[in-house]
Structure 1
Amino acid sequence: MKRYFIITFFSFVLCYACLGRVEDQCETKNIEVIATAYNSLAYQTSSNPSITAFGDSLKPGLRYIAVSRDLFDSGLVHNTKVKIQGFDSLYTVKDKMNKRWRKRIDIYMGNDVGKAKKWGKKKVRIQYCLTVKDSITN
């Protein structure tokens, strides 16, 4: 019962957070992905490790994730807020992963390589809000 309440509560919070306009509707999506971690270091990313593939700036302490490109079709696009199993805070999609990855997210962990290695690679559930246009007003 407690688990059901927590899931329902987070679904409501996520949907409420994604409602940018009155005519938008929110559909909560839950998927299972492989989660790894990365740092803003040149050997892990590119020659400019503080800039994401979307052009956003990375700074340690930010709650950002990179997503595999196949997840874009599921609505997990730039600036989407995401709840990751095992974390209390919401994360924002600010980066995209190399084309070779499928059904993955990469959690940004600043410059703390030890923290990223400790996280390793895990299968987790994520939840996010898919904003859908209201067909009556459009």
Structure 2
Amino acid sequence: MKLQLTLIACCAVLIGCSGGNPREVTATAYNSVKAQTTIDGDPTLTAWGDTLKPGMKAIAVSRDLIDDGLTHGTEVTIEGLPGTYIVRDKMNKRWDNKIDIYMGNDVKAAREWGKRTVTISWVEKD
């Protein structure tokens, strides 16, 4: 019985580490360039006040995803991309079920990414 409980606990930890809440979303990409920010805005400053730097694994999320638990600082895995991304920015209210992947100053990489449907996973914060 003790071994079974240990195995169940280990499985729960492994499932939690791999991410929960899988969800299919539209994914685009964005950069720290003036053309992609508000008029006279700082292209490195996010809506939550974080400063973006090239090389950061950051995403912006649509506001409906925030309501579903993808809040500021949440770690997210994105199908097809290595590593973990952090929610650092939020998108305009006009978007739904969408993420924007930060690609530093590499406009070419963002254009090559284009618009895709991906599955994301995250573990909600307590």
Please state which band the TM-score falls in when normalised by the shorter chain: 0.7 to 0.9
Alpha-carbon separation, structure 2, partners of 1:111 and 1:99: 24
2:65 is paired with a residue whose SS is helix
Alpha-carbon separation, structure 1, partners of 2:109 and 2:44: 18
1:35 to 22, 27, 42: 27
1:93 to 64, 81, 87: 87
Give me the CA root mean square deviation. Answer: 1.7
Of all paired residues, the percent bearing the same amino acid is 51
Q: Structure 1 residues 97, 53: closer, same or farther in 2, change over 3 A?
A: same
Q: Is 1:64 aligned to 2:68, yes or no? A: no
Alpha-carbon separation, structure 1, partners of 2:120 and 2:75: 10
TM-score scaled to structure 2, two decimals? 0.84
2:36 is paired with a residue whose SS is coil
Letter paired with 2:91: M
Runs (4+) off by over 3 Å? 8-12
Q: Structure 1 residues 71, 60: closer, same or farther in 2, change over 3 A?
A: same
> Which of 1 and 2 has greater Rg?
2
Alpha-carbon separation, structure 2, partners of 1:67 and 1:91: 11
Unpaired segments ≥5 residues, structure 1: 1-7, 16-27, 133-138
Partner of 2:98: 104
Partner of 1:53: 47
Alpha-carbon separation, structure 2, partners of 1:83 and 1:111: 22
Partner of 1:20: none
Q: Is 1:13 aligned to 2:17, yes or no? A: yes
Q: What is the deviation of 1:9?
A: 8.9
2:23 is paired with a residue whose SS is strand
Aligned residues: 113
Alpha-carbon separation, structure 1, partners of 2:79 and 2:37: 25
1:78-113 deviations in Å (ceiling 9; x for gaps): 000000001111000000001100000000000000
